[in-house]
Chain A
Amino acid sequence: MVVLSAGQILERLPYGEAFRFVDEILEISQDGIGGCYTYDSALFFYDGHFRDFPVTPAAILTETMAQIGLVCLGIYLMGGKVPPGKASVAMTSSSLDFLKPVYPGEKVFVTGTKNYFRFNKLSCKVQMHDAGGELIAKGTISGMLISRTDESGK
């Protein structure tokens, strides 16, 4: 089995610059992942969420936890089976609690722990902490791992 490095996983992420919420993968194994991201205060959504009072939308926090906890880990678990740029994940369910707001410029740390990976479905427990170690959000996210070569091969 091909073991991908953190750098190779980041290269294989399917997102464009405007919607990539992973800076660094800090640790990774078959069982879980840890990574971080800093929300630049110039990010597009702070203009409207909210007017004159920028707070990171829960949808973006969800996306960040999914990109690190689910997608990066999923790409690692698929290993060399998927050519670079062809791996994708369709989020199929999420159940999350949000405990604390995240403001522009904050750095967050996400951990994902594998519940199971069967029949291309990955289910993970995820947590997001701030730089001080305080819990921001927690819950479970699942998705189907997709290789886009499947579609082109039809």
Chain B
Amino acid sequence: MDRLLIIGELKAIVSPYTEERSKLEELSEDTDFLKDLKINSANLVDIVLDIEEKFGIEVDNDSMAKMLTVRATVEVVAQKLSGDAGQ
């Protein structure tokens, strides 16, 4: 899946968990979930669970620990998706 498509999906998933609307509007690979979108660790768990459901992937503890920015999250999702596609 294209990175831009993944980012678009991420923006929709993250939306209910942040009050930082302007930061969300300009969401890019550089966006930091904690610093920019002020998302706490509990909501970050819910976001990861939503990502699992949306993309049909399973996120392990090590990957979860990395998923603090949009860039890192896109990388994890893209990697899991290509892993699955390659069977």
Number of B residues near A (Cβ < 8 Å) is 10
Which stretch from B7-15, B23-31, B39-47, B69-77 is at the chain A interface? B39-47
Measured CA separation A61–B10 after assembly (Å): 37
Contact between chains at A144 and B41 (CB < 8 Å): yes
Which stretch from A1-9, A30-38, A105-113, A114-122 is at the chain B interface? A114-122
Decide if A29 is an interface residue (CB 8 Å cutoff): no
* Residues of B with C-beta under 8 A to A144: 41-42, 45
Decide if the interface of chain B is mainly helix, strand, loop or mixed.
helix
* Residues of B with C-beta under 8 A to A121: 41-42, 45-46
Give the contacts of A95-154 with B (CB-CB under 8 A): 116, 118-121, 142-144
* Residues of A with C-beta under 8 A to B41: 121, 144
Contact between chains at A92 and B40 (CB < 8 Å): yes
* Residues of A with C-beta under 8 A to B48: 118-119
Contact between chains at B42 and A143 (CB < 8 Å): yes
Measured CA separation A93–B41 after assembly (Å): 12
Give the contacts of B15-55 with A (CB-CB under 8 A): 40-43, 45-46, 48-49
Contact between chains at B42 and A142 (CB < 8 Å): yes
For B65, the closest partner residue in chain A by CB is A119
Decide if B4 is an interface residue (CB 8 Å cutoff): no
Chain B interface (Cβ within 8 Å of chain A)?
Answer: 40-43, 45-46, 48-49, 61, 64
